[in-house]
Amino acid sequence: MPDLILVLNAGSSSLKFGVFACSETAVTEVARGKYSDLHGTPHFSTSTGTRKASGLSLETGSSLRHVLEHLTGWLASEGHMSSIVSAGHRIVHGGTKYHAPVRLTNDVLDELDALTPLAPLHQPASLEPVRVLRDVLTGLLQIGCFDTAFHHHLGIEARSYALPIRYQTQGIRKFGFHGLSYQHVASELAAVSPQLKGKRTVVAHLGNGCSLCAMRDGTSVDTTMGYTPLDGLMMGTRSGGLDPGLLLHLIRELKMSPDAVEHLLYNQSGLLGVSGISADMHTLLDSSDPHALVAINLFVYRAVAEAARMTAALEGLEVLVFTGGIGENSWQIRERICARLAWLGVLLDHRENRAGAAIISKPESKVDVHVVAANEEIVIAQSVAGVLEIQGA
């Protein structure tokens, strides 16, 4: 039995996992699954090759420890537990210090905890499984992989804010997020063609969280998220970019506390706030409420405007990639975005788009349009395998 790597990808209310076999030549997926609704009644679903299991719900109010104990029990029942040599975790924010996979010691966890104000929804959710798993599987090597790492080498113009230089020296800069997803897209494009990897590419990671990345040669040139995951595109419940003066107005004139403003921007805005109905794009597309259409149109408008900005950063556009839950699954949103980018030479093949094909542009399109299924877990597993090789584990 080859060595196995357990990957945990924690969201604010869900936990995705993967099991990967690690050999000298490749990292291959053995199984994957998800626990959804962690704060309610956790629902467990898995897939192993062509075999899928779903419909199992844990007790309402189950703790994360209970969830991970259930996971380790399932891994044991599948014959995987004894071969797991390490666990890899998606950590949303690495700050200025962490931009490569790192062993998650107590000291490292404390430093990452200090970044929680920069990602209050995500950072605690990223770190809690590390601490719980440490108790459930004592002694297991745990490695953190960072969403910010992909953007660490942004050029000074792309990463800087127009603030006094003393703030830049304190680490205030654009970090960018969704880096593990972008790294996966870069590797998928390279697998299709080395020439494709080198083209001027805008990747749209559209899900509950949304961002764009301008990319060339597998490297981030610019991205829409900034110091925190609030910036840029309109999202499920997050506002995206706002006039800073508006925040001053909320605090000074409307007497909102910083905590209330934070809750508004992270939890009550975006598709949910504009529509007053739902943060789920599928629900809004099926709705006849006029507020749903307003939210959809604003979402598309913001995505198109930011895509144009990313194109300017690249000085042209040759490839457009959709990924993430909305990007992969909503042909309607892809269609609306591409229609408004026709001036850049985007010509969509509507039949291929509605069929969910991997390439959805017409042959004569000046911009190749791809759909790539997000797979952050394989990137984490490959990163962990690299650490294990370095350490000789």
- Give the model confidence (pLDDT) of 263-287 as tens digits: 999 999 999 999 999 999 999 999 9
CATH of the domain at 66: 3.30.420.40
Q: Is the dihedral of CA 363, 369, 373, 378 positive or negative?
A: positive
* Residue closest to 30 by CA, chosen among 17, 18, 40: 18
CA dihedral 236, 241, 243, 249 (to 10 degrees): 40
Active site amino acids: 147
Task: Look up the domain containing 245 and give its range.
Answer: 193-371
Same domain, 360 and 223: yes
Residue 36 lies in a domain: yes
Same domain, 205 and 63: no
Contact predicate 340/304, CB 8 Å: yes
Residue position matching structure tokens 């409420």 = 289
Q: How many CA within 13 A on the CB side of residue 344?
A: 29
Distances (CA, A) of 281 to 43, 193, 242, 250: 21, 32, 21, 28
Low-confidence ranges of the chain (pLDDT < 70): 1, 49-55, 390-393
| C-alpha 281: how far from chain center | 17
When divided into structural domains, the chain yields a total of 2
Residue 29 lies in a domain: yes
Contact predicate 274/239, CB 8 Å: no
Write down the pLDDT at residue 392: 57
Residue 153 lies in a domain: no
| C-alpha 249: how far from chain center | 31
Task: Name the pTM for this structure.
Answer: 0.95
Same domain, 266 and 121: no
Residue 43 has φ and ψ, to the nearest 5°, of -115, 130
* Residue closest to 74 by CA, chosen among 38, 46, 50, 102: 46
Burial (CB < 10 A; 0-12, 13-18, 19+), residue 69, is middle
DSSP string, 71-124: HHHHHHHTT-GGGEEEEEEEES--TTT--S-EE--HHHHHHHHTTGGGSTTTHH
Residue 62 lies in a domain: yes
In this structure, the number of other CB atoms found within 10 A of the CB of residue 354 comes to 14
Beta bridge partners of 19: 6, 31
